[in-house]
Amino acid sequence: MLNFYNFPEAARVTFSMLTVINAGFAALVLILHQYRFNRGLAYWLNSAAAFLALCQTVLNAALIAQVYQNISDGFIVASEYIIARYVVFAAVAAVFIVLLVKEKSLLPGIVTVASFLTLPFMETWTGRAFPAAFSAALAILLVSSIWLTVKIRRELLTSISSLSVKQAMDSLGAAVLFYGKDGHILMQNNKMQELMLKTAGHVFYNGKVYLETIVIPNSENTGTDNYLYRLQDSVWLFASSEIKAGRKTITRVTAADVTEQIKAAVMLKDKHNELKSRQQRLKAFVENIEETCRSEELLRVKTEIHDAQNQKLIPLLQYLRYGELPDSTSFDSLKSGILRGAYADGGMATTQAMLDIIVGQHENIGIKIHINGNLPPERDKALALVQILQEAAANSVKHGYANEVNALIMDNDGKYAMRVTDNGTRLVVNVKEGSGIAGMRRCAEALGGELYIDASPRFTLTVTIPRANEGEANE
């Protein structure tokens, strides 16, 4: 190494850079070699060869560093690391011989040659040519390291290896780790490390400790070895299981992000509860409709019975009131119930004809009905006024002892109006609405109308019904 002291500064810097680069590639070869999948004897021999190559490059760097140190101190000394250089050479040679016999591999022989060129006795034997031999050793080690780096990397990319397995695990959406019986983590992907940082604030190197001290105490147990861990922004489902690897038992821990599934389950539950609530409301609504229909049907039947009773009893009441017996024609009309069928829907051609029959029937029993004005052209409104007039006339006879009924039909201010009065002698102070008045009111309100009763000074009934739109069909 004494000849290196005569080299220019640029040459010494070049040698220093080469030794550093050489050491970097040798270290990279050793690292990549650890990811190989096959762990047999050949694997360990090649690992030893890569390690010894790294040791050789470190020794070369140390020799150049010694030259720099001596120049800076201002004196020249003989090269050091004598024993270490011989020991490394012997180890490299031994590994080369074993690999040559087992795999017929010549690569360790190249490293052996490079180590041989840097031995201490080569300095004396080569003399001034030693820097050239040292440079050749550096070049051999650098080229072999670069070649091995490319070769091993290509092998890892095209075959199953621990690196390819690690890359496959990193590409998974789930977090995965494997640990041995003592908890030592054998392999884990980046997702699991990120999850450790989120759940504990630091990365664990013991999977059993992480599972038992962080995951299980802070999770919801959803089943055997299944745990639901809730973070602020996500939910993770942890699952652990034991697998056999030869004679060893390895524990596998996986964690999947189930945030969206939990949200969907909660939303589905809410929708189910909402649907159940709607079903209950719908059931109550249907029951109310049924009850309303039953009430309306009962009211309709009651009204029909009331109307039928009026048409039957009012004439009899009139005959009894004046002590007269009905003639055969009136009695037959009374008996057959013409009055009830006179205004049935579809029973007559026109509402005016219905009105005429009602007037005629009342005249047969001595009751005069005077009508001023015309019925509305719309059949439904005209029929409503006829029915109301018939009921009002019946009430006048039954409650007011009247024998004359006056009806004034008007068409003004966009409404049809009918005012009914009588010559009854019975003074009515308080009007109590029975089924008759209630039926007349419903008849008017069904068409958007209103019904008013005024008991003073004379009983007066007024009904108003809005007119139809221009496009509504006439009778």
Output the six-digit token pair for 448.
């958007």
147 and 29 Cβ atoms separated by less than 8 Å: no
Cα torsion 439, 440, 441, 444 to 10°: value is: 120
What's phi and psi for 306, nearest 5 deg? -60, -45
Output the six-digit token pair for 345.
């829907």
Cα torsion 25, 27, 32, 37 to 10°: value is: 140
Q: What pLDDT is attached to residue 49?
A: 78
User: What average pLDDT does range 324-347 have in this prediction?
Assistant: 47
Per 3-state DSSP, the chain is made up of helix, strand and coil in percentages (nearest 5) of: 60, 15, 20
pLDDT in tens, 39-92: 667 777 777 878 888 887 887 777 777 766 666 666 665 667 778 878 888 888
Is residue 139 left, alpha or beta, with left meaning phi > 0 and alpha meaning psi from -120 to 50?
A: alpha
25 and 142 Cβ atoms separated by less than 8 Å: yes
Separation CA 84–CA 420 (nearest Å): 134
10 Å CB burial of residue 466 (0-12, 13-18, 19+) is middle
Pick from 320-324, 343-347, 405-409, 431-435: least confident? 343-347
Pick from 248-252, 267-271, 390-394, 455-459: least confident? 455-459
User: What average pLDDT does range 352-358 have in this prediction?
Assistant: 84
The alpha carbon of 295 is separated from its chain's Cα centroid by a whole number of angstroms, namely 45
Separation CA 229–CA 70 (nearest Å): 62
DSSP state of 213: I
Separation CA 338–CA 362 (nearest Å): 12
More confident residue, 30 or 473: 30
pLDDT range class, residue 371, cuts 50, 70, 90: very high
Q: At 454, which amino acid appears?
A: D
More confident residue, 305 or 267: 267
What's phi and psi for 261, nearest 5 deg? -65, -40
CB atoms within 10 A of CB 150: 11
The alpha carbon of 235 is separated from its chain's Cα centroid by a whole number of angstroms, namely 14
Q: What pLDDT is attached to residue 419?
A: 94
Q: What pLDDT is attached to residue 372?
A: 93
User: What average pLDDT does range 4-25 have in this prediction?
Assistant: 72
User: What average pLDDT does range 340-348 have in this prediction?
Assistant: 44
Q: What pLDDT is attached to residue 475?
A: 44
Q: What percent of the chain has pLDDT over 70?
A: 74
Q: Of the ranges 131-140, 357-366, 403-412, which is most confident?
A: 403-412
Q: 3-state SS of 103-163?
A: HCCCHHHHHHHHHHHCCHHHHHHHHHHHHHHHHHHHHHHHHHHHHHHHHHHHHHHHCCEHH
pTM: predicted TM-score of the whole model, two decimal places: 0.36
More confident residue, 14 or 219: 219
More confident residue, 17 or 301: 17
pLDDT range class, residue 406, cuts 50, 70, 90: very high
Complete domains list, the chain, with CATH = 2-163 (no CATH), 172-257 (3.30.450.20), 303-466 (3.30.565.10)
- Reference 105, options 151, 173, 163; nearest CA is 151
Q: What pLDDT is attached to residue 322?
A: 57
Collapsed DSSP state (helix, strand, coil) of residue 227? strand
Separation CA 120–CA 6 (nearest Å): 19
10 Å CB burial of residue 111 (0-12, 13-18, 19+) is buried
Q: What pLDDT is attached to residue 148?
A: 81
